């Protein structure tokens, strides 16, 4: 299964080079959309240079409207069997795309891999673990779980996304990833798989959204999680 990788960027400076190197080292072919959210530095130029001469790689610069707008652009233009989201300041293993492709190829509507961010997965193993819809919703609808509700360690079936008619809420700039993932799982019965290998590394950038969140942002996050918890009623 061929995947589409969507990477939103905004003024990432030197951080973007490491991810571009990781993308160049992937062990399988994939479609790539690098979507810059109106950077004022060199980020957009680096993206353009990276994709030059590669037919399946695309770089686009939008007006600055937020990460959800950038991700939705990627959703609209993706052609792969599955869609993967990566944050532009993070790192991925060479087998990241291949592993997620293998997970979806098992008939899953969503595949996830282990990540490192202050901690490593509690589970161990080289094989995918199968979860049902209810088990996956429990993982993605709250903080502190092994799989998490983040979008960046997962591949979503594009067919299932189209069926759910799901996009990112462009009015949010915090917890929008949790809402997207939980909404997908709540609306999508089927097989879910998880590979407990660390193939994604979250880097701590001082000026990232998570580190600059205000008290009002935290209130918004609480409201979003109330919306997420209400989604459980959709699961039969």
Alpha helices in the chain (DSSP H): 15-24, 43-51, 67-77, 96-105, 133-140, 158-164, 176-187, 209-212, 215-230
More confident of the two residues 212 and 157:
157
Closest-CA residue to 33 (of 74, 67, 63) = 74
Task: Encode burial over 182-194: b for 16+ CB neighbours within 10 A, e otherwise.
Answer: bbbbbbbeebbbb
pLDDT at 173: 84
Q: What is the mean pLDDT of residues 204-226?
A: 74
211 has pLDDT over 60: no
Instruction: Give residue-wise pLDDT tens across range 19-61.
Output: 999 999 999 999 999 999 999 989 999 999 999 999 999 999 9
Four-point Cα dihedral 178, 56, 2, 73, nearest 10: 30
Distance from C-alpha of 72 to C-alpha of 85, rounded to nearest angstrom = 11
200 has pLDDT over 90: yes
Which residues neighbour 75 within 8 Å (Cβ) at sequence distance 6 or greater?
6, 83, 161, 167, 168
208 has pLDDT over 70: no
State the average pLDDT for the chain. Answer: 93
pLDDT at 216: 78
Closest-CA residue to 99 (of 120, 125, 127) = 127
CATH of the domain at 104: 3.90.550.10
How many domains, in total, are found in the chain?
1
Residue with tokens 């509690």: 122
pLDDT at 76: 97
Closest-CA residue to 15 (of 107, 112, 75, 89) = 89
Q: Domain limits at 76?
A: 3-234
Query: Looking at 35-39, 182-186, 204-208, 216-220, which range is the least confident one?
Result: 204-208
Both tokens assigned to 166: 């799901």
When pLDDT is cut at 50, 70 and 90, the band that residue 179 belongs to is very high
Total residues found in the chain within this entry: 236
When pLDDT is cut at 50, 70 and 90, the band that residue 123 belongs to is confident
């Amino acid at each position: 299964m061929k995947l589409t990788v969507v990477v939103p960027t905004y003024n990432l400076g030197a951080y973007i080079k490491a991810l571009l190197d990781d993308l160049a080292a992937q062990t399988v072919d994939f479609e790539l959309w690098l979507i810059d959210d109106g950077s004022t530095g060199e980020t957009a130029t680096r993206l353009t240079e990276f994709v030059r001469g590669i037919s399946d790689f695309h770089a686009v610069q939008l007006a600055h409207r937020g990460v959800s707008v950038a991700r939705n652009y990627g959703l609209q233009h993706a052609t792969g069997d599955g869609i993967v989201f990566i944050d532009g300041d993070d790192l991925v293993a060479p087998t990241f795309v291949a592993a997620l492709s293998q997970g979806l190829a098992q008939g899953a509507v969503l595949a996830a891999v282990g990540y490192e961010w202050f901690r490593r997965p509690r589970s161990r193993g080289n094989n995918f673990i199968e979860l049902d819809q209810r088990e996956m919703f429990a993982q993605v609808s709250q903080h502190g779980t092994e799989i998490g509700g983040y979008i960046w360690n997962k591949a979503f079936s594009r067919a299932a996304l189209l069926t759910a008619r799901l996009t990112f809420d462009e009015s949010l700039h915090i917890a929008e990833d949790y809402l997207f993932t939980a909404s997908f799982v709540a609306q999508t019965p089927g097989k879910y798989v998880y590979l407990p290998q660390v193939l994604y590394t979250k880097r701590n950038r001082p000026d990232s959204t998570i580190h600059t969140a205000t008290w009002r942002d935290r209130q918004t996050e609480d409201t979003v999680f109330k919306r997420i918890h209400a989604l459980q009623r959709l699961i039969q």
